[in-house]
Structure 1
Amino acid sequence: MSKSPRRRALTSPHDALFKWTFSQREHAVGLLKAALPPSVVAAVRWGTLRVEQGSFVDRALRSRHGDLVLSARMGKGRVYFYTLVEQQREVEPLMVFRMGLYMMRLWEQLVRDQPEQKQLPPVVPVLIHHSDTGWTAARAFQDIVAGDAPERTALLPHIPHFELRLVDVSGGRAGDLVEQALTALGKVVLWCLSVAGDDARLEQEIGRMAAALDEVLRAPSGLAALEALLRYLWATHARYGVRKLGKILEKAAGPRAQEAIVTVLDEIERRGERRGRTQGLARGRAEGRAQTLLELLTARFGDVPAEVSARILAADEAALVSWTARVLTAPTPEDVLGDGDASTGAPTAPPRRPAARKRARRT
């Protein structure tokens, strides 16, 4: 059974949904069969497909890009599929260059892990793209390298050559994709990525997903899949509440889906209430300690300065415990707080004295 999507740390909602879905072999096989050339599909031994560890996206770009590395047996070795999902408003003209960087990082890791190998395994780049305009940039690396004929012809043997396999889901249609190869969940996930943030399209096009949604919900992992979809739609359609999104899905999937949707919604809300109670208890303890500390300060020093009171009321429980321990020995209210970090209560290190200079030896 697939794991619940809530167990995966979220880099971004797009990355989380994509990885949760296509880290499962059944759905990953469907995606790759749908995206790759028939000659490659026929040569890969799909029963050997596995997810590889590691992410190669720049940290600063992880809110817009997410990657997943898969590999399978092909011929006498393994072929790697570097799959990148991106969600952004504009097409990045040098995206194929960025993909090249990520592929090099993957090869670097493979060589580091297997230093004895004499050849590099093939890496096929697959880009899942969504933007306002659809893909308008180069797909081949050699096409972004400047040069005019005849000089360019002379230089081509010295320029890296590779081409993206592009899955463009902009506008609600998965271009360059054999949709029949996708699983039902794969179809729904790519569609969700394509309508992210567009409330009108979500409601207008949900009917196209009715049959796929029904199949998703009838699968053994249907509740986990439904939760992943609801959480993604909730994160990318902020104007709608989770109950409103549940109604939209229910309308598309039909009455048989109602019980599953209600079950998932109730579980999401129960977990939210539990988190709220836990956070409330912690804050309640902190507020109680803050009031106690203010009473102790008032009893010892009289009126507490406003800035000291504000820091105490905003502090966390750990800081309040530390400050309360000082209240009997500190000479002023400010000193109760002044020797520690207001956010943690940890004492600051005393300033280091300059090292004494050694007296010069007389000769």
Structure 2
Amino acid sequence: MSFKKDLNNIHDKSYKDLFSTNDAFLSFVNTFIQGEWVDKLEKDKLILVDKSYILSDYEELESDIVYNATIGEQNIIFYVLLELQSSVDHSMPIRLLMYMVELWREILRNSEKKEIKRKSYRLPAIVPIVLYNGTKKWTCARNFKDIINESQLFGDNILDFKYILVDINSYSKEYLYEFKNIAAAIFLLDQDINAMEFLERLKNIVINFSNLTSEEKLLLKGWIKNTTNSDEIYDMNKLVDDIFNESKKEEVEIMVSNASNIFGKLKSDGIKEGKKEGKAELLITQLKKRFNGLSDYYTDKIRSLPEGVIDKIAADIFDLEKVEDIKKYL
């Protein structure tokens, strides 16, 4: 078992809780998004929209966060799609377009027809943002026109937009440590790291991110508890409570660096986990050869299986007549 929970909806809810505060959302935008308009955003002019626009087919795979903002006299909508899954979905530009159109449709439905027909009428700008925490490289098209057949023939005569990609695993820890804010702290802990590195980063955040507010510390504690398996790291919930309540740097270091009851357990778990991962990868290779390939659905499922189930599939591999037969083990 990994020390991090792998359920997408848990991660989605944790991020939605995090970005439900103006401070955290503004921290996220200021840290990870470039643009002249970024510096013009003000906390008291951000309004969280309590509604989701996710299509029913994708409700279990992703989530969204919507903010209204004003810059001067201009109304802006920030649409953040939480793509917290292990594989890249290349329909992303299409889905974003559908969500954006639905936002505009709702605005038009709630606007006076006389107002819409005026020459001065303007729709609010929608800034599409994708937050991705997968380990695979993001290879999906960023520009909408790149998924249109022969788009180069039509120049500016066809629809186009470019979404902002925030790829959590693409940032170095040195870069993230520079900011010392809530968004950087979450990204440091949500990257693809092992339990030892997670604890080391957590210690550094508690000691060095001294400008976090009490509310932000509560958000961070809640995020850690929601996204980690407590028992895998020597009762993570208790450890988190203890270190956030401790004001002395030396005491925090002692708590996190207690080799006898934390790091020793992590090493043992690491050996067990490495053995299981090796078996999983070998089984995936064998199944790919047997069935001339294997979809991401099955590879992701196999990697999350207990070691005993992996052994069972390996023993029964020649009894599997078609790839769908794997489902009875999942």
TM-score class, shorter? 0.5 to 0.7
5+ residue gaps in structure 1?
1-9, 260-363
Q: Residue in 2 aligned with 1:89?
A: 86
Helix, strand or coil at the partner of 1:29 = helix
Where 2:14 maps in the other structure, the secondary structure is helix
Does the CA-based 8 Å contact 1:31-1:181 persist in structure 2?
Answer: no
**Conservation of the 8 A alpha-carbon contact between 1:48 and 1:73:** yes
One of 64, 69, 72 as aligned partner of 2:66: 69
1:213 counterpart = 2:213: no
Aligned to 2:224: 230
1:8-157 superposed matches below 5 A: 12-115=9-112, 116-117=115-116, 118-147=121-150, 152-157=151-156
Counterparts of 1:124 and 1:224, CA distance in 2? 29
- Compute the TM-score of the two structures, normalised by the length of structure 2: 0.61
Q: Write out per-residue CA displacement over residues 216-254 of structure 1, whole angstroms, 9 at most, x where no aligned residue.
A: 7963226632541233223xx487278145447867996
- Once the two structures are superposed, residues 242-282 of structure 1 have per-residue CA deviations (whole angstroms, 9 ceiling, x without a partner) of 814544786799635999xxxxxxxxxxxxxxxxxxxxxxx
Structure 2 residue aligned with 1:278 = none
How far does the alpha carbon of each residue in 1:26-46 deviate from its partner, in whole angstroms, 9 at most, with x for none? 111111122332312134344
Name 2:235's counterpart in structure 1.
243
Among 183, 186, 211, which residue is 1:186 paired with? 183
The alpha-carbon distance between structure 1 residues 60 and 238, as it changes in their structure 2 partners (threshold 3 A), is farther
- Which residue in 1 is equivalent to 2:306? none
TM-score, scaled relative to structure 1: 0.56
Distance in 1 separating the partners of 2:50 and 2:26: 17
Please list the CA deviations of residues 168-213 of structure 1 after superposition, one character each: whole Å capped at 9, or x if unmatched. Answer: 0136x379xx858966322222334434xxxx62432442343433
After superposition, give the CA deviation of every residue in 1:145-171 in whole Å (9 maximum; x if it has no partner). Answer: 111xxxx44423232111111110136
Are the aligned partners of 1:250 and 1:258 in contact in 2 as well (CA < 8 Å)? Answer: no
Structure-2 change in CA distance of 1:40 and 1:226 (3 Å):
closer
Partner SS, residue 46 of structure 2: strand
Letter paired with 2:235: R
Q: Which residue number in structure 2 is paired with residue 286 of structure 1?
A: none
Corresponding pairs, count: 237
Partner letter of residue 49 of structure 1? Answer: L
Higher relative contact order (CA 8 A, sep 6+): 2
**Higher deviation after alignment, 72-81 or 200-209:** 200-209
Aligned counterparts of 2:220 and 2:41: Cα–Cα separation in 1? 31
93-102 or 59-68: bigger deviation:
59-68
Amino acid at match of 1:144: I
Kindly state the Cα deviation for residue 122 of structure 1 after the two structures are TM-superposed.
0.3
- Alignment partner of 2:127: what SS? strand
Point out the more displaced range, 36-45 or 94-103: 36-45
Counterpart residue identity of residue 166, structure 2: V
**Partner SS state of residue 145, structure 2:** helix
What pairs up with 1:261-272 in 2 under 5 angstroms? none
Question: 2:194 maps to which residue?
Answer: 201
